[in-house]
Structure 1
Amino acid sequence: MTTFAETLKKEIARVARKELREEITVLRKLGATQRADISALKKEVKSLQSSLKRLEKTRAAPSSSGPFAEPSRTTKPSPHTPRGKPGRKVTFTAERLKAQRARLGFTQEQMAQLLGVSGLSIWKWESGGAAPRTSRVPDILKKIAMGKREALTLIGQLAA
């Protein structure tokens, strides 16, 4: 009986190995294709990253470069110029006006005196109900970018 039981166990193990071998072969092929796909994706990501870096370098480089380009002159910005990111046009917004007024610690009337407009205009500009004339915007942006001491002296000069 023991030989029959041992033979049966061996036969079951052989059939199980045969069945598993087919399943494992399929899984190995699938794993190999997935590894190849992962490798291709890694190469693609690496090439995209290098092209992105190259584009960032060309974007950050000055637009007029070459043997005949004039050297760039770095000038210190005047304290009256509105601050912003280089290359970006600074625009007038109600939030900017409100934030700058809060930074200076001015009332709407004081801000109106600084800008040479009425207090009602400041209120309308801050609430978004109106906007200043486009011809006045650069002057307004310069004045709201001033420091507190400078703005107070200008208000004092305008009031006198």
Structure 2
Amino acid sequence: MTTFASSLKKEIARVARKELKDELGALRKASASYRTEIAALKRQVRELQVALRQTSRRADKALHTVAPDAPAESPKRGRRAVFSAERFKAQRERLGLTQKDMAAYLGTSTLSVWKWETGQVTPRARFLPAILGLRTTGKREVLQQLARGAGGATD
């Protein structure tokens, strides 16, 4: 009876393995295709995140600059004044100032003036009134204030 029982057990195990083999094969194929699809979706999400960051940077930059041919906005009319790196550099050159002189006039560092002119950063709000005031200030007036040691910005 022992041989019959053991033979029966072996046969049942063999049939069970045979049945499971087909089902496991299908599951393995499905699992592999799901992993491939997940990897592709992860790549797509990363690409979209990069595109979103680039777009938000461009939008932030666009908010802080105005096209050169656009009319200058005046804070007195209730409009928000917009800083433009190109106009700031042109203003400094129009006044005949070096970056060091401009930094002394505004009460900031030469590196800050350079970064403002290259568009890497925008000035803080406390410097904007002095920068916007340069639009109506002449070269002699700025040189006189530099000679006295009084800049346009107050800390």
TM range (shorter): 0.3 to 0.5
**TM-score normalised over the length of structure 1:** 0.43
Question: Higher helix proportion, which one?
Answer: 2
Structure possessing the higher relative contact order (Cα contacts under 8 Å, 6 or more residues apart): 1
**TM-score normalised over the length of structure 2:** 0.44
